Every structure is written in structure tokens, then in C-alpha cells.
Amino acid sequence: MGHPRTVRLLQESIRAYTRGGRGGPKVHVGDISLHGGGVFPPHLSHRHGRDVDVGYVLQGTDADVTRFITASKDNLDVARSWALIEAVLATDQVHYVFMDYGLQKLFYEHAIAAGASARRLNDVFQYPRGEGAPFGVIRHWRGHRNHFHVRFRE
């Protein structure tokens, strides 16, 4: 169960994403937190209702599967996934987005091709500065190849 603010921000993000007229599979939302909060194995966070796991938008036979599936350059719909992530970031309430570093590269390259400014990319991505670099809203965290993790601000 998420904090009401988290749920509202997530709903707003998904509505903004779908208003873009992109079509495609439904957005898959996973764990937020336990009712009443607290430790939520196997997560290190998800304790206060402001963390949420969201599936990448996939294509092909993986597109409509209702569980998280490992994303790769072969099945990831980079444009739609990036539009979803951008909708989340547009709330201006995101503290971090955790995502696999290799997937960050795909999104970074897509954003460049779409005309994103160097300043925007520098603010948003940890990539290409290295997995451990303390920069960017989008940061590497192992275990986030089949979904991205959003932590909203308090």
C-alpha cells in the first residue's frame, strides 16, 4: 500500500504517459509497500510508501506479460519506456530512479537522438560517469534490469 501522495503522483504520471497517444501495453506496477509500512522483504526500501517498482515497456511477445521480465535491447521499447520515465520525472517529485546501468545507456542514447540537451542529460543520468558516480536522478542499482524503481520525495 503506497502513501496517498505516491499513488497520486504515479497515477498522474501514467495518465500523462497514456495521453501521449503512444498506444502499447498497459503499465505494469509492482511493489510499493506493506499496509502500515515496515520491512518488506526482499526490498531494502519500500518501507514508507514512497517507493514503487514499475515495469519497463516491452515489445514483441513480452509486451503484455503481467510480470516483470528482464529488459534488453531486443525486447525493450526504449521510446515508450523513456516516455513513461519522463512522465514520472515531470512530477518534479522524484528523488531517485534506480535502473540497471546498461539500460541507462540505451535510454541516454535515445534521449540524445530525440534532442535532449546535454544539461538535461547531465542532471538526469548517472551514465556515462560510471555505476558508482554520485550524480543524476537515474542511478544504477543491481536487480533493476526487469523494472525501474522510483523513490518519490517526502
Interatomic CA distance for residues 65 and 30, integer angstroms = 13
Who wins on pLDDT, 72 or 46? 72
CATH number of the domain residue 147 falls in: 3.30.1380.10
Percentage of residues in the chain having pLDDT higher than 90: 69
Q: Which residues contact 138 (CB under 8 A, 6 or more apart)?
A: 85, 96, 97, 98, 99, 104, 107, 124, 125, 126, 127
pTM exceeds 0.75, yes or no = yes
Q: How confident is the model at residue 30 (pLDDT cuts 50, 70, 90)?
A: confident
How many domains, in total, are found in the chain? 1
The mean-pLDDT minimum among 16-20, 55-59, 123-127 falls in 16-20
pLDDT tens for each residue of 94-115: 999 999 999 999 999 999 999 9
Q: What pLDDT does residue 110 have?
A: 97
The domain in which residue 98 lies consists of 4-152
Who wins on pLDDT, 3 or 146? 146
Q: What pLDDT does residue 8 have?
A: 93
Q: What pLDDT does residue 50 have?
A: 82
Interatomic CA distance for residues 74 and 78, integer angstroms = 10
Q: What pLDDT does residue 20 have?
A: 75
Grid cell for residue 84: 513513461
